[in-house]
Amino acid sequence: MLARAALVPILLLLACSTPTRPDGQKGVLTPGMKAPELEAIDHRGERVRIPSGAPLLVFFYPKDNTPGCTREACALRDAWDAYQKKGVEVVGVSADSLASHREFAEEHGLPFGLVSDDGTWGKAFGVGRTLGMHRRTSFLIDGEGVVRKTYEDVDPGVHAEQVLADAEALGLTR
């Protein structure tokens, strides 16, 4: 019984991993670092590329149709017109399947792409996972692929407006 109790903290540490990025470093990418060159097909069948040639918000979230993730995605949906006017693109990333992403996007009217991550994107950005789900982390990337802002303690209710304000302050908007 005591041996099992001693294993619990070890298993929790293993479940809450921070990956080693392809550059050999640990931790999330920080402002000034080059974003990884990545490509994927989103839930709509459209190609998503980094760098995209335009300012881009890449938001990692734990799971489709959970309260915090739904609130964050819907706040971005509600701010979509402002993002479009300012020329800032948005892509969401989680470990959920493309089928799950399609259902999530349809149910909530999400206008932006959702990428199903097999671990490649999260590892490249240094985003940790807890129990197989990405930690809520976002990156504001300029058109040349440089990380301009990293968000590790994301409040889903205000994140959409915060990112847009930061994009304007950093001179990334039209």
- Assess whether the previous peptide bond of 62 is cis (omega < 30° from 0): no
- One-letter amino acid identity for 119? G
From residue 45, alpha-carbon distances to 57, 101, 113, 132, 164 in Å are: 19, 11, 9, 24, 26
Active site residues: 69
Q: Which residues, in sequence order, are bridge partners of residue 171? A: none
